Amino acid sequence: MDDYLAGFTELFSRYDVVGAFWVNIQLTFWAGLIALAVGTLLALMRISPVASLRLTGTSYVTIFRNTPLTIIITFMVLVVWTQLTVTLAPDFNANFFWLAVVGLAVYHAAFVCEAIRSGVNTVPVGQAEAARAIGLPFLAAARLVILPQAFRGSVAPLGNTLIALLKNSTVAAAGSVATETASTMKVMIEFSPNHLYAIFFIFAMGYVILVIPIGLATTWLSDRLAVKR
Amino acid sequence: MDHEATTDEPQPDSVTDAPASATATATRELGEPLVELSGVNKHFGALHVLRDIDLTVRKGEVLVVIGPSGSGKSTLCRAINRLETIDDGTITIDGQPMPAEGKGLARLRADVGMVFQSFNLFAHKTVLDNVTLGPRKVRGLSKKAAEDQARTLLDRVGVGNQAHKMPAQLSGGQQQRVAIARALAMNPKVMLFDEPTSALDPEMVNEVLDVMVALAREGMTMIVVTHEMGFARKAADRVVFMADGLLVEQAHPEEFFTAPKSDRARDFLSKILTH
């Protein structure tokens, strides 16, 4: 038993487990930020009075929401980088990191858009009518009246999207981000196969520990920010 | 303001003899045509909700639109600031035709105040911010100027002490008075009221009607969709009766309520006045 525990703790000194989680947190942070911006823009397009913008927004969501993330991430590396030679960072590894961030962001933007749209549905139509009636054009009405209330109504679904994004960030392994958790786990299983169960346990628990606070925070925020009507 | 003296003066003699269209102008001196609808039609699917509506509202006139539910009176009111589109016909505000969309439409809407049945105060903003939003973002007033104006207006409708509350903390009557202040803050040329008291508890109806009567006395041009016959008698220059999308009858309120000409109006009035 002591031997096993010693081997378990040795896993942490031999492999940079914490560092691997940190890479996934960074992937999630940057992809989440970009996805939030792009997703908000898509949601605006989908509720806009301009038919061509609505069509563009709907097409984006339909394409990216229904495409497997692994395909998007490998596309980023094999097509965007290798074929189209788009380089996002001079450093070899940083380039893979940012390609993965963009892949994660374009995929999750579709889900962010739908989360915000579900929030827009919590805003009574009279709010938009009142905004238009005092002479606010569409963008001003959206920015000042609709979106502030929609965001408050979409905290819970946005939290779900963030949780999915954090776990999906392991797909960056398919995009040659070698230092993140899924890649690290594969290396550990290969070189320390006698600790197979422990290795699975470490990574499963790591994600549980990261995700639980997100769930608690979004529930709390969702209640706190809810618009009283 | 200049209409104040004439509004209170009862002029029954001139009213009873004159034809319906002339009676409205007989009660007080009215200005130029401000809102003009001509040949307005609208369908909701197979339902023909507005049929060839021709209507002119003059500066300073208070027009009350009544009629059974489904008669098209709310649609008419909402069409005037294009919250409802129309199929054909024209609507002009102060000589300008209502644009279909874009900045021009937003500009014209700013000049048309709207009060809704369900108040529609911005739920995430304080009472004060509700009233200052339009003046600041549309009219370009400074925060200070907009707040000074808002406080004056809130005092005028009797909710000055509620300025920092959220709409949900106010009673229905208070919310509707804030909504009136919000519309007035844009200095509108005309105010539209779409059943402003229908969602209110009975004891709150009068506080809203009082504000509206005061507004009418000050010479504001108003188009009011309502079932409040007391308000119509007290403040209206003209009553328009609608049924099945048609403008059936228009007359001075006293004349309309005592001697309606059409069967539809007689039938409607007998249903609402006899209990």
Terminal-residue alpha carbon distance, chain B:
37
| B78 token code pair | 């909402």
Q: What is the pLDDT of residues B176-189, one digit of tens each?
A: 999 999 999 999 99
Q: State yes or no: pLDDT of B7 exceeds 70.
A: no
| B168 token code pair | 């949900």
Residue B28's pLDDT is 61
Interface test with B, best of A127, A132, A134, A136 (most B CBs within 10 A): A134
Residue A140 phi/psi, 5° resolution? -65, -40
User: Is B103 at the interface with chain A, CB within 8 A?
Assistant: yes
Q: What is the pLDDT of residues B35-52, one digit of tens each?
A: 999 999 999 999 999 999
Please tell me which of the candidates A134, A136, A137 has its beta carbon nearest to residue B182.
Answer: A134
Return the sign of the alpha-carbon dihedral for residues B6, B7, B9, B14: positive
Q: Please provide the size of chain B in residues.
A: 275
Query: Do B212 and B235 contact (CB within 8 A), yes or no?
Result: yes
Residue B275's pLDDT is 58
User: Is B136 at the interface with chain A, CB within 8 A?
Assistant: no
* Helix, strand or coil, per DSSP, at residue B103: helix
Determine the Cα–Cα distance for residues B124 and B116; give it in Å rounded to an integer: 18
The DSSP symbol for B99 reads P
pLDDT: is A26 or B102 the higher one? A26
Query: Do B108 and B148 contact (CB within 8 A), yes or no?
Result: no
Residue B274's pLDDT is 65
| B3 token code pair | 């209409």
Task: Please give the mean pLDDT across all residues of chain A.
Answer: 94
Determine the Cα–Cα distance for residues B106 and A175; give it in Å rounded to an integer: 48
The DSSP symbol for B261 reads -
ipTM: 0.85
Q: What is the mean pLDDT of residues B130-139?
A: 96
Q: What is the mean pLDDT of residues B77-93?
A: 94
User: Is B80 at the interface with chain A, CB within 8 A?
Assistant: no
Using alpha carbons only, what angle is made at residue B155 by residues B149 and B157, rounded to the nearest 5 degrees? 105
What residues in B contact A140, CB-CB < 8 Å? 137-138
Q: Name the pairing type of β-strands B47-58 and B33-44.
A: antiparallel
Determine the Cα–Cα distance for residues B116 and B134; give it in Å rounded to an integer: 16
Share of chain B above pLDDT 90, in %: 79
Can you give the residue ranges of every domain in chain A? 17-225
Q: State yes or no: pLDDT of B2 exceeds 50.
A: no
* Closest A-chain CA to B103: A137
Q: Name the pairing type of β-strands B96-97 and B246-251.
A: unpaired
Q: What is the mean pLDDT of residues B252-274?
A: 89
Task: Please give the mean pLDDT across all residues of chain B.
Answer: 88
Could you identify the residue written with the tokens 């209502």? B98
CB-CB neighbours of B13 under 10 Å: 9
Q: Place domain A17-225 in its CATH homologous superfamily.
A: MetI-like (1.10.3720.10)
Residue B12's pLDDT is 40
Q: Name the pairing type of β-strands B221-225 and B62-66.
A: parallel
| A108 token code pair | 């999750």
Residues of chain A short of pLDDT 50, as ranges, are none
Residue B25's pLDDT is 39
Tell me, what amino acid is at A73?
I
Q: Which of residues 164-183 of B touch A (CB under 8 A)?
A: 166, 168, 179, 182-183
Please state, in angstroms and as integers, the Cα–Cα distance from residue B68 to each residue in A115, A180, A199, B33, B241, following that order: 41, 68, 74, 27, 9
Residue B21's pLDDT is 40
